[in-house]
Structure 1
């Protein structure tokens, strides 16, 4: 029985296929369950077109309140197919890469580590974001209140036809600048809290949920400004504001946000972002750890039966 529930050893003994399968299921569960909140976050982060007033002052078209947006419940799920198609393979690659790198960086020796899980998380993020970025662009275009796209396929075809393949990757540098520190912080804080709350290493879903939630809240809070920049770049093609539509990259997008809203503009959608990532990280880690444990346990039982 000791071996069956010796959870600390799973990172070393579980196979890449088990890690990838558990990661794919975790990614789909995380994104689908929190998708409506993510839609509200995206809409709150999008800058409204600039309007020149009669006195020459520049104002912004007011954005709708979160309560008003939430009233149209059906639209909050628009584009969810994109994350289902992308999150499965991207998260499979993400968690499989993480486990391989964590083992390579000697993070499975039973001691508290910070740099090793952070470095493994950075490597996993690079692999994940390169695959996921086009799906994320489609998702955010579909999430906009004023979107005219009816399906994910239509959105992908029209974005490619009008803006080219660049539209799917213009936000990738910003995404990596945000995601690498985000995931490094999340993985490192998750591993720390998991070890601190559960030093015995036995399988404990409550530990994974609490540690995941804390890690998601901390990481999303720190990286919110970069997420606002990323949203502007990923949705620029649907803006009627020429300045936003022609944003050339990270620094140009950041300059627009600062011009329009000052430093407070970099924290647009802060609450929905944290309210998205805190439970989504808890869900993701809980589902991932459960299926990794379940698949390992199932294979272990089959090996024991075959040895009889």
Structure 2
């Protein structure tokens, strides 16, 4: 494959060469808000299943339509935390990804140790994904903690502000970051798999590098399935750490980190415990990733076209 054969890398989406940093940030913010808000009820079910509830308990059923609507409206509790956090976090996430991807790719092209251009693009996207994840998770983790506390079925918090204030008063600032190492250990492989899978699928589906919503949806869905399947066990550990303060189990409430959380899950549920919430997680991330990439690519195209 010659350099001319890979000119598409610079033309449109492979390296994001025709959109500015501001445009990437705006597109990323809209993509993050859209992704999380649309899939929020399923994400709430996933959180409840991961902390030990059954599907039936997580999703209220009732013969009364009024009671059913009122009960399942609780699945939206905490969504404002996502709106406040996902916008700036995803703006930073996608901006970091685009900038790092382009720079890493150019460095690899200038070097002599990697000749294959497909491998260059793979290394550039995966490395950029790591950088994007570090920036995103540091900003988003406190909002995620509040979100998951409010997603619990027995949550007593009435607002995002009240939840954040009470968690801080009771557990201190570390409550918002105790899950950060676990979050990063999950998010780095998740985002690396997601970005590389997305870019590869997109190349196979859209070799001409034209704006094509269908290819973005399909590539995003495949990337979401692959990434969420591999990282589910780490997500279960993360959920336990982020919701520990709301647990009635003293061992969980006093859990100090990843290794202890791992032991608790294994002692209570065995290896199957690490796949609690697997189905709702897939059902969340498959459409969510498709939505995120579709919205992001659309606004990136729209904003750059109407410069």
Q: Which residue of 1 is the match for residue 260 of structure 2?
A: 252
Q: Tell me how far apart the structure 2 counterparts of residues 69 and 137 of structure 1 sit (CA, whole Å).
A: 27
Contiguous gaps of at least 5 residues in structure 1: 49-61, 300-308
Q: Tell me how far apart the structure 2 counterparts of residues 130 and 34 of structure 1 sit (CA, whole Å).
A: 22
2:123 to 103, 107, 115: 115
2:45 and 2:59 in contact (8 A); partners too: no
TM-score, normalisation: structure 2: 0.88
Contiguous gaps of at least 5 residues in structure 2: 1-7, 63-67, 110-115
What RMSD in Å do the two structures reach over aligned CA positions?
Answer: 2.0
Question: Are the structure 2 counterparts of residues 10 and 181 from structure 1 closer, same or farther at C-alpha, using a change threshold of 3 Å?
Answer: closer
Q: Which residue of 2 is the match for residue 147 of structure 1?
A: 155
1:28-39 map, 5 Å = 28-39=33-44
Q: Which residue of 2 is the match for residue 59 of structure 1?
A: none
Give 1:114 deviation, angstroms: 2.0
Give 1:240 deviation, angstroms: 1.0
1:10 and 1:296 in contact (8 A); partners too: no
CA deviations on 1:206-264 (whole Å, 9 max, x unpaired) are 00000000000000000000000000000000001000001110110000000000000
Q: Tell me how far apart the structure 1 counterparts of residues 75 and 243 of structure 2 sit (CA, whole Å).
A: 16
Q: Tell me how far apart the structure 1 counterparts of residues 148 and 161 of structure 2 sit (CA, whole Å).
A: 14
Give 1:66 deviation, angstroms: 4.5
2:184 to 155, 173, 176: 176
Q: Tell me how far apart the structure 2 counterparts of residues 193 and 179 of structure 1 sit (CA, whole Å).
A: 20
Question: Are the structure 2 counterparts of residues 165 and 41 from structure 1 closer, same or farther at C-alpha, using a change threshold of 3 Å?
Answer: same
1:1-308 map, 5 Å = 7-8=12-13, 11-47=16-52, 64-68=56-60, 71=68, 72-106=71-105, 112=118, 113-299=121-307
CA deviations on 1:24-82 (whole Å, 9 max, x unpaired) are 0000000000000000000000037xxxxxxxxxxxxx774444379532100000000
Q: Tell me how far apart the structure 2 counterparts of residues 127 and 149 of structure 1 sit (CA, whole Å).
A: 28
Q: Tell me how far apart the structure 2 counterparts of residues 253 and 69 of structure 1 sit (CA, whole Å).
A: 31
2:148 and 2:243 in contact (8 A); partners too: yes
Give 1:116 deviation, angstroms: 1.6
Q: Tell me how far apart the structure 2 counterparts of residues 143 and 291 of structure 1 sit (CA, whole Å).
A: 30
Helix, strand or coil: the match of 1:11?
coil
Q: Matched residue pairs, number?
A: 282
2:45 and 2:55 in contact (8 A); partners too: no
